[in-house]
Structure 1
Amino acid sequence: MIRNYLKTAYRSLSKNRGFTTLNILGLSLGLASCLLIIFYVVDELSYDRYNTKAGRIYRVNEDLKLGENNVLYSVAMPPLAKTLKSDFPYIENTVRIKNAGSAHVKKGTASILENRMAFADPSLFDVFTLPMITGDPKSALAEPNSVVLTESTAKKYFNSISVVGKTLAFDNNGFFKITGVIKDIPQQSHFNFDFFISMSSFPDSKSNEWLRSDYNTYVLLKDATDSKKLEASLPAFLNKYSGDQMKSQLHMDMGAFEKSGSFFRLNLTPLTDIHLKSNRSGELSANGSVQYVYIFSAIALFILLIACVNFMNLSTARSANRAREVGVRKVLGSAKIHLIAQFLTESTLLTFAATVIAFVATMALLPAFNQLSGKQITVDAHTLGWLIPALLLIVMFVGAIAGSYPAFYLSAFQPIDVLKGKLATGFKGSGLRSFLVVLQFSISIFLIVSTIVIYNQLHFIQSKNLGYNRSQVLIVQNVFELNKQAGVFKQEVKKLPGVVDATLTGFLPTSNWKSTAIYFKDASFDQKKALFPQSWEVDENYISTLEMKMAAGRNFSADMLTDSSGVIINEAAAKFLGLKDPINKPLYKSNGGEQNVANSKQLHIIGVVKDFNFSSLRDVVSPVVLTLAHNTGALSIRVRTANIPALLVQINAGWKELSPGVQMNYSFMDQDFDASYRAEQRTGTISLIFSSLAIIIACLGLFGLAAYAAEQRAKEIGIRKILGARITAIASMLSFDFIKLVLLAILIALPTGWYLMNKWLQGFAYRQDIKWWVLALAGFTAIFIALITVSFQSIKAALSNPVESLRSE
């Protein structure tokens, strides 16, 4: 019986090759797109889940509000980890990780810059699942100047993993003993370091200060349910240990501090929430956003829905032509259950074929998708373990849904009614098909609106006046490698043809170098008036090199000795301080300890620089204080030459002369800026691609339905032509049935798209409003696409010979 069903299904599908091809193509496109997005979403959701104890690991965060300044930290105090473990018996273990920045590591005569280095406590391997290949995980990080490498790093420097006991030289001034080699950390981790240096190598780690935060601190609970109990205990715990230092330095206890409108709190973030739900200061790496997971999940669902709707529309349209076949089968004794089984077999067979094609297409497109999305997704045995059952469920579900209409609806008619032609067919006869067309075009129009809004916002970000000029700025990284020669290097570079200016500092609007400090407006040291801004060390060429604009006062001058106690503030700082004329007004910078004149440095404001964006455009520009100091983090060079490669050769030659054997690393400021918004750029590109695919799939369905409608009205068209109807009139008549459905879809989709994308834009402090033309463009695009799709079939039907359609009459 099953063999007969399959044979009949094959013959039926072969007979209607056009509909079969459209059905399979549309569904396979939809499934392939959906699979790629599912891979992306699964990858994002899998971060840190490789840890066997992931459900019991939490990071301790710090929230600080000082006056009107509110900062969310992912780091905590130096003594916190040890104290938590001793005070709470339900904490199994704790560990601290601190980003160690970058260093040059010796390999023979070469010196290689390594950026993925961290200090870590010995308990690192008890908390996180970092399998050790060689070495003892219990003692690997116990001694000072010991280091654990990843497998690929060990092979990079020694071509072997048998390296325990060997040493590495960092920055030509320190030797570290290798005490272990671990497997490479999975890509899906919120930290990914190649070198773990013993925390005891870092003297500050022994500090007992409770009013500053520098260490990413994690707790491993004995039971995950204890997290709420721990979080509830943290206020009293913090008051117990930080209270004395707060009274000494701020002259108030925690209660008075909070009554003043400020607060100092600790809270917990589950390890598996860090990548998608945390965007705090001090993160160990750039995290993702759960918002994009929602966006891509919705796109995947929409595409699959459009593809399934398309499939059902074409299946039901084609099945109506088989009404007489059903009548004949029933007259010849075919049972209703056999008719149902036949139709379900055909739709399932079609779905299976589309699924196989989609899977092959997905595997072929995965490398390109990885490059586009910045992922390293692979399909392994574990992936296939959930993917194959999911695909089989899709085959059964879509096949059953698409085949249900002909199976249960047509098989229910009486044979005599069917054979007499009393069964209504045609496009107008199906409210279900009309509803499905409206649904799929509503989704398509919504995707068009979303894509335009995302691209407009990205263009706005890239073209917005940021308060500085990021173009034509070359940044030479890690100039501190030159030691005392950094200033000489700057002066030599400034003499080169094509160099306009240069500034020596690591504090740049596009860098990760950040530093905060506490400033007071006057000697009263009133906490309510405390300023907690970014405090950056710059030189006298900073503002001119970055082409910033002064709002008042003047720039730093190397010729004015008093500028060593001068500061330049931005407009946001001036506004916060309530100073209409801030020039020559005093500022008191806290040096830590008790807040008084003796423990502070008196400064004076010499200028106000116009606000410039130094963080994401999702955030409002916050106060910044620039101080004149020697900082060798990087050398930023404003260039004006058509031959940048030649200039780079000259700069590199100057570098090698001062630091032979150490490689010069550089970037361009505009590229660094673009990298900050790479996630949004990828989102825009992926949205454009998959929105286009969704529209193509919808058009395939519309094309098939238009062909079906023209076929059903062939005799009507023939009679109209004989009676003198023009081709344009006939084409318009056939097109109107579809266009009115698209117009209805526009009325539904445009308000929905406007509302949801407005919600998305609220996440940006600086954004473009959705213009009326965006909605108009989306609507006209949908109408134009529908007209092009339907008109082809309508004109073809209108040009047909009426004799062919009326021959049987």
Structure 2
Amino acid sequence: MLKNHIKIAWRNFIQHKWYSLLNLGGLAIGMACSILILLWVQNESSYDTFHTNSDDIYRLTAIANEDFKAAVSPAGMIEQIPHQVSEITSSLRLSAPFEALVEIDNQKFKEEPIFYADSNFLDMFTFPLIEGNATTALAKPDGILITEKTAKKFFGSEKALGKTIKIDNRDIFTVTGVMADVPPNSHLQFNMIIPMAYLAKTDNDLINKVWDSFNFYGYFQFEKGAISSQDDVTIVTEKINQIYAKRQPEFVITFNLQALKDIHLKSNLQIDLPGHGNVLYVNIFFIAAFIILIVACINYMNLATARSARRAKEVGLRKVIGAGRRQLIFQFLGESLMISFISLILAVGIVYLFLPAFNNLAQKELLFSLGNNNLWISLLAIALITGLISGSYPALFLSGFKPIKVLKGRLKLSKYNLVFRNGLVITQFVVSVLLLIGTMVIYNQLNFIKNKNLGYDKSNLIYVPMEGEMWGKQEALRSALSQNPLTSDFSIVTDLPTNLITGDFDIHWDGKDPDSQVLFPNLVTDQNFLDVFQMKLANGRGFSKTSSKNNDYLINETAAGIMGYNAETALGKSLTFRGDKGTIIGVVKDFNYKPLQYAIEPLLMQNREFGSIAVIKAAPKTTESTIAALENIYGRLNPAYPLSYNFVDGDLDAQYLGEQRMGTIFNVFALLAIFISCMGLYGLSAFMTEQRFKEIGIRKVLGASAVRLVNMLSKDFLKLVFIAFIIAIPIAWFGMNKWLQEFAFHVEIQWWVYLAAGFTVLFIALSTVSFQSIRASLASPVKSLRAE
């Protein structure tokens, strides 16, 4: 029996090649898309799971002012909390990642990212050593850990253990360990690790073990089984908050514990490590994979039912000679499973072919290894589920034909079948409308980000960090920059106004509520800052050469509002910041100094003659010559360091690479899903014309024109598109608004977006259907009426 079913399925497959190719193409593309998306989802969900103690490691995070959530904590607190909370066995501090000049055998490299880490780094995290002893690798202040890739870069085929590395032209470290390269699914990405003991020689936070300065990333490892539920996390968190409240009663800070496995996807925190994902995108793409597979299954169903009339007599004959409905169901399910497994083979080939392009698009290193047993189980499950879902309706539908009716040629479809089939098509239209609306909204938001006026001119701004001797030669640097016309439009600042991460509570003004705690980011600038960035003043004036001596302050409009002033009344008011009393001399119009995910916060600006970054405004079309001039200046003042420069607008664009990447991936899969839907619509139009073939012949004999016949066959789709449009609008509105809420500044979804999506789907649907309609209307009526 099974052999007979397979033989018949194969015969049908060969005899109807075009129909079979449509089925194979739709299912193969749908499966391939789903496999690629699920590979990406699996990778995003696997971050930090490779650590042996991943279930017992948590990161300490802080919340100030309810809205300011940060990933950093005080150095002293991280070190001392384990002594006061029994469930915690150890703690680890990490510095912010940084770049350094590395010298090996008189060869110099700019290397990043580098971390300072406590000596138990390799005890808490599972980063295997290829060379060295994990217990002692970070015990000495002048030791250094490097990755295998970095070791090959620095020392080639030679053993790196025991070799020396010079950093920033002054510090000499000995390689005490070579680690296996950091897995791509680690939230910590680094090339080198330097002992925290080295930084502790000069860093005030570490020397004084402070609890009020938030500059380090803190991790706690708990006893096995100490944290088994969210209630356990809540209990320990309350203990930590009580300890901090007693130690620092003047600050209202709330701390949370973030599971290590949650850091990559659930870290909507400021001052965080770069490269995080977003759990919302993971959920969206997981649903997209499911939807694309369902659309492919609907496509198969529609194509199968389109051929129902051709197979009706086959079913009737089988029933007459004794075949039961169960046997027929198994036969048709067997056919769909055969198509499904052949489609799986094609899908695997498509995945192998396009995985490099997908990796390039997603900036991932996804692997598709058929030697993985779990992968085979997943693939076979996808094929089995796809085959059963796509074949279930055709099997039940075709096996239900009455033999007497079909053999007499009186095949009449029930109202239920018509409603179900229309429901499938409506589902495809709903998906198409949703995907088109999503594509347009994402494009509009990314375009809004790209073109938004941030409150300053970001174009042609080149910035150079202070390195080496330049720290002590800033007056000479100012003089050199001023004397060259290409570089004379410059400002020296402590931070760029692109992603400001500073913040302080120690700020006071007349009339301030003593119980009020407001976090003020602050920016140290010079008198050229407003001109270089072309910022606007709401009132007052900018800094002058004497402003640093007078403790003059600039604030933004948001800060003025929090203080109870406006742009006019704030001028001349007294302000004390970190004990330095001064006067507000100007109010700057609000500008975005953080990514657009965050609302504009109060900002305070001070005037100082020294900073850590020089920003140069290049004149239009002079960028290359300006960089050449900077190389000459830095070559004279700081010969030991090669010039390192970047562009402000480049940094701003990099902040939204994740959103841009996800938008591109979404667009690609949206187009593929719509393409699969078109194949399904082609199937349904074939079904409709097949069912009305004789009616069309009669109408043509009675004088109906081709245009009228096309309109008759296509009008039903207008109803389906309209119903789908009504269903899709609230779903799209809810989903896209939820995504837009990720941004404090975002576009509003305009009515024309919905209308454009509806008309586009209608055009695609009618174009697809019209092919079959025109073909049927042009056919000779003799063929359809020959048997009458």
Q: TM-score normalised by the shorter chain: which range applies?
A: over 0.9
| Cα distance per residue 1:139-192 (max 9 Å; x no partner) | 211222221111111221112463222221111121122211111111111111
Note if 1:136 corresponds to 2:133: yes
Residue 38 of structure 1 aligns with which residue? Answer: 38
SS at match of 2:96: strand
Query: Following the alignment from structure 1 to structure 2, what is the Cα–Cα distance between the partners of residues 646 and 29?
Result: 50
- 1:441–1:120 distance in 2 versus 1, CA, 3 Å: same
1:680 paired residue among 656, 659, 678: 659
Aligned to 1:119: 116
In the alignment, structure 1 residue 607 sits paired with structure 2 residue 562: no
| 1:397 Cα deviation after fit | 2.0
Structure-2 change in CA distance of 1:81 and 1:749 (3 Å): same
Number of the residue aligned with 1:505: 493
How many angstroms apart in 2 are the aligned matches of 1:492 and 1:201? 35
State the 1:702 CA deviation: 0.5
The answer on 1:489 being equivalent to 2:489 is no
How far 1:476 moved relative to its partner?
2.4
Query: Would the aligned equivalents of 2:498 and 2:595 in 1 still touch at CA under 8 Å?
Result: no
Distance 2:310 2:752 in 1: 43
Q: 1:276 aligns with which of 258, 265, 270?
A: 265
User: Which of 521, 545, 553 is matched with 1:567 structurally?
Assistant: 553
Structure-2 separation of matches of 1:230 and 1:792: 62
Following TM superposition, by how much is the alpha carbon of 1:244 offset from its aligned partner in structure 2, in angstroms? 5.2
Change (3 A) 1:510 1:161: farther
Partner of 1:260: none
User: Which TM-score applies when normalising by structure 2?
Assistant: 0.94
Q: Distance in 1 between matches of 2:7 and 2:331?
A: 10
Find the counterpart in structure 2 of residue 794 from structure 1: 773
Residue 526 of structure 1: CA displacement? 5.2
C-alpha contact 1:520 1:531 (8 A) present in aligned 2: no
Describe the superposition over 1:560-603 as per-residue Cα deviations: whole angstroms up to 9, x where unpaired.
Answer: 3665511111111111111232222111112xxxxxxxxx1112
Q: Is 1:556 equivalent to 2:535 in the alignment?
A: no
Counterpart amino acid of residue 439 in structure 1? T
CA positional deviation for 1:301: 1.7
For residues 201 and 517 of structure 1, do their structure 2 counterparts lie closer, same or farther at Cα, with a shift above 3 Å needed?
farther
Matched residue of 1:276: which SS? Answer: coil
CA distance 1:783–1:500, shift in 2 (3 Å) = farther
Q: Report 1:442-521 matches (<5 A).
A: 442-479=430-467, 482-499=470-487, 501-511=489-499, 514-516=502-504, 518-521=506-509
Contact 2:49 2:261 in 1 (8 A): yes
Aligned to 1:226: 227
- Go from structure 1 to structure 2 and tell me whether the alpha carbon gap of 1:242 and 1:770 turns closer, same or farther (over 3 Å shift): closer
Question: Offset at 1:617?
Answer: 1.2
User: Once the 2 structures are TM-superposed, how far is the Cα of residue 627 of structure 1 from its aligned partner?
Assistant: 0.9
Identity rate, percent: 38
1:780-791 superposed matches below 5 A: 780-791=759-770
d(CA) in 1 for partners of 2:274 and 2:281?
18
User: 8 Å contact 1:90–1:223 — kept in the other structure?
Assistant: no
CA separation of 1:578 and 1:132: change in aligned 2, threshold 3 A = same
CA separation in 1, counterparts of 2:707 and 2:146? 75
1:718 aligns with 2:697: yes
Q: Answer yes or no: is the 8 Å Cα contact 1:211–1:242 preserved in 2.
A: no
Aligned to 1:640, what secondary structure does the other structure show? coil
Structure-2 change in CA distance of 1:416 and 1:185 (3 Å): same
Provide the residue aligned with 1:597 in structure 2: none
1:70 is displaced (CA, Å) by 4.7
Q: What's 1:162 paired with? A: 159
Q: Could you say if the C-alpha distance between residues 744 and 672 of structure 1 is closer, same or farther in structure 2, counting changes exceeding 3 Å?
A: same
Compared CA separation, residues 564 and 372, structure 1 to 2 (3 A): farther
1:542 counterpart residue number:
529
Aligned equivalents of 1:100 and 1:332: distance in 2?
77
Contact 1:493 1:499 in 2 (8 A): yes
User: What does residue range 298-377 of structure 1 map to in structure 2 within 5 Å?
Assistant: 298-377=287-366
Alignment equivalent of 1:95, drawn from 72, 92, 95: 92
Distance verdict in 2 for CA 1:490–1:19, change over 3 Å = farther
SS in 1 for 2:253: strand
Equivalent in the alignment of 2:192? 195
* Equivalent position SS for 1:475: strand
Question: Is the 2:336–2:391 Cα contact (8 Å) retained in structure 1?
Answer: yes
Q: Structure 2 residue aligned with 1:243, among 216, 241, 246? A: 246
1:144 is paired with a residue whose SS is coil
Separation in 2 of the partners of 1:573 and 1:405?
Answer: 64
Shift of 1:490: 4.4
Superposed CA deviations along residues 513-551 of structure 1, whole A, max 9, x for unmatched, are: 6354521114x8854345421111111111111111111
Paired residue secondary structure (1:503): strand
1:424-439 to 2 correspondence within 5 Å?
424-425=412-413, 430-439=418-427
Q: Which residue is equivalent to 1:209?
A: 210
SS of the aligned residue for 2:75 comes to coil
Deviation track 1:709-745 (CA, whole Å, cap 9, x = no partner) reads 2123222111111101111110000111222212211
Flag the 1:561–1:275 CA change in 2: closer, same or farther, 3 A: closer
Residue aligned with 1:44, SS: helix
Distance (whole Å) between structure 2 residues aligned to residue 483 and residue 118 of structure 1:
22
Provide the rounded CA distance (Å) in 1 between the counterparts of 2:581 and 2:728.
60
Question: What runs of 5+ residues in structure 1 fail to find an aligned partner?
Answer: 251-256, 258-262, 591-599
CA contact (8 A) 1:480 1:486 kept: no
Distance in structure 2 (CA, Å) of the matches to 1:191 and 1:485: 35
- Give CA deviations for 1:331-355 in whole Å, capped at 9, x if unaligned: 2344444433321221111111211
- Deviations along 1:424-459, whole A, 9 cap, x unmatched? 159996222111001111111111111111111111
The SS at the match of 2:144 is strand
> What is the alpha-carbon root mean square deviation over aligned residues?
2.3
- Relative to 1, partners in 2 of residues 1:341 and 1:71: Cα closer, same or farther, differing over 3 Å? closer
Select 2:282's aligned residue among 293, 311, 316. 293
User: Contact 1:112–1:663 (CA<8 Å) still a contact in 2?
Assistant: no
Q: Provide the rounded CA distance (Å) in 1 between the counterparts of 2:255 and 2:383.
A: 50
Q: Structure 1 residues 514, 806: closer, same or farther in 2, change over 3 A?
A: same
SS at match of 1:79: helix
Letter in 2 for 1:62: A
The 3-state SS of whatever aligns with 1:164 is: coil
CA separation in 1, counterparts of 2:380 and 2:337? 10
Rate the CA distance shift 1:412–1:526 in 2: closer, same or farther, 3 A.
closer
Q: Are the aligned partners of 2:309 and 2:691 in contact in 1 as well (CA < 8 Å)?
A: no
Q: CA deviation at 1:114?
A: 2.0
Distance 2:739 2:209 in 1: 43
* Separation in 2, partners of 1:808, 1:643: 82
SS at match of 2:406: helix
Deviation at 1:461, TM superposition (A): 1.7
The answer to whether structure 1 residue 71 and structure 2 residue 68 are counterparts is yes
Distance 1:35 1:161, change over 3 A: farther
Structure 1 counterpart SS, 2:502: coil
Q: Give the AA of the match of 2:108.
A: S
Secondary structure of the corresponding residue to residue 111 of structure 1:
strand
CA apart distance, 1:613:
0.3
- Summarize the Cα distance change of 1:681–1:487 in structure 2 as closer, same or farther, 3 Å threshold: farther
> d(CA) in 2 for partners of 1:719 and 1:113?
81
Change (3 A) 1:561 1:379: same
1:417 deviation in Å?
2.7
Partner of 1:418: 406
Output the CA distance in 2 between the equivalents of 1:451 and 1:46.
Answer: 27
Structure 2 distance, partners of 1:27, 1:744, is 26
Q: Which amino acid aligns with 1:222?
A: E
1:270 Cα shift?
0.4
Q: Which residue of 1 aligns with 2:12?
A: 12
| C-alpha deviation, 1:275, in angstroms | 0.8
Residues 704 and 758 (structure 1), Cα distance of their counterparts in 2 relative to 1, 3 Å cut: same
Structure 2 Cα separation of the partners of residues 219 and 381 of structure 1: 38
Q: Contact (CA 8 Å) 2:439, 2:667: kept in 1 or not?
A: yes
CA distance in 2, matches of 1:666, 1:562: 27
CA distance in 2, matches of 1:179, 1:464: 49
State the one-letter code of the partner of 1:462. Answer: K
| SS of 2:265 mapped into structure 1 | helix
